[in-house]
Structure formats: C-alpha cells, structure tokens
Amino acid sequence: MPRPAAPLVRSKPALLGGKPLVTPAMRVTWPPRGEPERKAILEVLDSGQWWRGGTRQQMAQSVTGRFERAFAKWQGAKHALCVSNGTAALELALKAGGVEAGDEVIVPALSFVATATAVPLIGARAVFADADPETYQTDPASVEAAITPRTKAIVVVHYGGYCADMDRFTKLAKKHKLLLIEDCAHAQGSQWRGRGAGSWGDAGCFSFQQSKALTAGEGGAVISNSDVLAEKLYSYHHLGRLEDQGFYDFHRVAWNLRLTEWQGAILNEQLKRVKKLTLIKQRNGAWLSKRLEQLGGLLPLKRDPRITRRGYYFYLMRYDARAFGGLTKARFFQALQAEGLPVSQAYGRAIQRNPVFAQMKDERGRLIYARTSTPNADRICAETQLTLGHTALLSRPLLEAFVASVERIRAHASEIRDQGKDAARAAG
C-alpha cells in the first residue's frame, strides 16, 4: 500500500502550526475557459441575435437550440429545453407535469434547498423523505412511506452526482401513478445503467450555475422523453405560447424562463469540455476511493455498479469519529481546511431545518414540519458528511495532499481534539 513518507505523517498538521500541505499550484481554477468561449461570445455579439427568438423554429435554429440537441443526446433523452436556472427548471417540470396547489410532492431532506422550495413556489406542499446513510441518496422506502392520497409527484436528487436508485424509483412512481422528477443539478454526465441521469423519470432538471460541472454562470435545462410534456414545458417557459399558434396568442398563465444566446454560446463550448473532464474526474475519483478504503475511517460512498458513469458535483465521504480518536467532524473539518483543502460539509442541515420550512405554517397556523423526522439525514449532516468539491478531482497532486492530510491529522488526532477543548474552555 503506497504511504506518504513517514516524516510527512509525523509533521505537524497546519491546525497545530505546521505548513499547509496544499500549495496554490495544486488548485484548479473554475470554470475552465479560453479562446473557444471568447470566440463563441463574439459571434453572438456580432450576430445581433442576443435572445433566442420567438417561434419554435427560431428557437431550434438558435445557438441555444444547438446546445439543447447536443445536451439531450449526451444525457440520453429525446428533448432538452434550456431555462434561466435550476430552480426554475424544477418549478417548470412540476407545473408542466400537472402539480397543482394543494398537492403533495415528496422531496429529499438531504439536498440543496431549491429541490424543496420549488414545491411551495407553485403552491403545493413539500413532504420530506429521509436519506440512505451509505449512499446519501433519497431513500425509496422513506419515500414510499410518505405517499398519501394527496401525493402527486416525487422529486429525487442525484446527490453529489451519485445516482439515486432509479430502478426502485421508476417502479415506485409507476405503481402509485406519480410524476417522477429527477433533480440533476449535481449530475451532469452521470449515468445509471448506461443511460443519463434525468432520462429515467418524467423529467430531469439541471442547473448550469457557476459552481456546476457544466456552467454558463447561470442557467438550467429540463430534459424529457415525452412529446406531450415537452410541449407543455415549452409553453410554460415561454409565457403560455403554443408551438403552432401565433406569437401573440397566449394560452396559459406562465413564466418567461428563456435562456439567452450568450449562455447558449458558452454552454456549447463547455459541453465539449465537460465530456472530457467527467472522465478525468471519474478516474481520479476511483483512485481516491481506493486510497480512502485502504486508510479507513473516512470512507467514500458505497459502490454501486449500476452507476456506469459518475458525474461529480461533490466527492462525498463518510466520516467515522471513532477512527480519529473521537475527534468531532467539525474539528476534523477545521483541520482539513487549515491544510488549504477545498472541503465542505455540504449544506449543513436537512432542508426542513432551515427557517423557511421550520417556521412554515398551515392555514390553521400550525407549524407544518414540527414533527417531520429524518434521522439519517440529520445524522449524516451532523456526524458523517464531508465533501471535496469536484474541481479537486482534476488535480492528482491535490488529491495526494488530501490523503496525506488525512493521515497526518489522524496521527495527531488527540492533540487536535485536546487543543479544541482548551480553546472552548478558554472561550468560556
């Protein structure tokens, strides 16, 4: 088993005054960019066509239309429609899928807040489902237990770019005749059994916000294999117009969620890059998982061979304090940060613990989520979840520094723990 040189493990971690192991040269700047993006933007500038046109045909011929076709193909779906951001993509998919005020929509407790806020934004009620402690993905059993006669839809998230169990979720949705929406904001490039995330449910919703693996700064898309749904998605994103009717004929109360050609131009170039970068991240992610399994105590997510390509947003890990002399996750995290590593604790708490849901009341003034229980998601957030941002997977030297950091923190775990206690005592 390759190990860092013994003196490195014995050297003091940065939190105890040692030299941080990460140097600026190890970091990768994000987003990737260069001459192709510059040229694409200038072409849009010179064309004078800065929005993507009004009719279905004009939209298809636009720069953004070109991206939609290539993106749909890459993710394995028949249709793709670009929209202004990932939150709007979720609202749009729910609305076009027929969710109405008063309906219940089951959402994951472990995700970014927008996975859930999209639901009350269209007047429906979010019902939270728990996560699986070994994969951090939405737990199908918890979703099934939350189904009531008012349930209209299930939203699952491919958290971190790992895939939710689409075998079970497609079966569950079919059995209960529910709309199935995949939140793929983290899953550009991910594949389940050889087909793209987002192409398994009724619709897959993507974000192209700055931090994502495929980005235009802001932006989003909804993919689908249904012609009927695609027509509704088009209409609801375009002020209620219909594909074959006049430009000033409006048929639905609807938003303007159109993406600009600037973003479409960037996305065409970024798509070429992400196809290559996904494979590099996948290779480096597999290397890191192997190293962490050898070390123990900070494990990757459980392997699932049905995930045939792993897109990444977070490289997610499961921390076990017992392997680090009882060092809390919060303290271990501080020690990693001190080394200069791009680590995070993701969103920090189950979604419904945020004030927006914790204080949300029903029509009779009762707190809606006071009794919502998601013990796995709570424990994951408090005790086990740590992440490396996906850009770290583009730098093998940074990953090596990460592994070495974990080893030297472990070698000094009791000192770090006691120093934390002293500091807490001194603070009173």
Ligand X SMILES: Cc1ncc(COP(=O)(O)O)c(C=O)c1O
334 assigned to active site: no
Among 95, 152, 237, 241, which one carries the catalytic annotation?
241
- Is 324 or 357 the residue whose CB approaches ligand X more closely? 357
Q: Which is nearer to ligand X, 185 or 394 (CB)?
A: 185
Identify the CA nearest to 64 among candidates 268, 369, 288: 268
Active site residue 168: no
209 is annotated as an active-site residue: yes
Question: Would you say 59 or 83 has its CB closer to ligand X?
Answer: 83
Q: What angle do CA 113, 115, 351 make, to 5 degrees?
A: 35
**In this complex, which beta carbon is closest to ligand X, that of residue 49 or of residue 354?**
354
| Residue 13 preceded by cis peptide, ω within 30 | no
Q: How far apart are CA 36 and CA 240, in angstroms?
A: 35
How far apart are CB 368 and ligand X at their closest, in Å?
21
Closest separation in Å from C-beta 154 to ligand X: 15
Residues that bind ligand X (CB under 6 A): 85-87, 111-112, 114-115, 157, 183, 185-186, 207, 209, 220
The single residue of 130, 132, 183, 378 carrying the catalytic annotation is: 183
Q: Of 244, 247, 248, 322, which one is the catalytic site residue? A: 248
Query: Is there a catalytic annotation at residue 162?
Result: no
Q: How far is the CB of 313 from ligand X (least distance, A)?
A: 7
CB of 112 to ligand X, least distance (A): 3
In Å, the largest CA–CA distance within the chain is 74
221 CB-near residues (< 8 Å, 6+ apart): 68, 71, 80, 81, 82, 83, 89, 205, 206, 208
Torsion of CA 327, 332, 334, 340, to 10 degrees: 150
Does residue 320 have an active-site annotation? no
Our answer to whether residue 258 is catalytic in this structure is yes
Residue 281 CB, nearest distance to ligand X (Å)? 17
* Helix 329-338 / helix 413-426 crossing angle, nearest 10 deg: 100
DSSP tag of 394: G
Distance of CA 26 to the CA centre of its chain: 24
Number of Cβ atoms within 10 Å of the Cβ of 287: 15
Give the active site residue among 152, 186, 310, 412. Answer: 186
212 is catalytic: yes
Query: What stretch of H or E contains 82?
Result: strand 79-83
Q: Which of residues 186 and 238 has its CB atom nearest to ligand X in the complex? A: 186
Catalytic residue positions, numbered: 112, 183, 186, 209, 212, 241, 248, 258
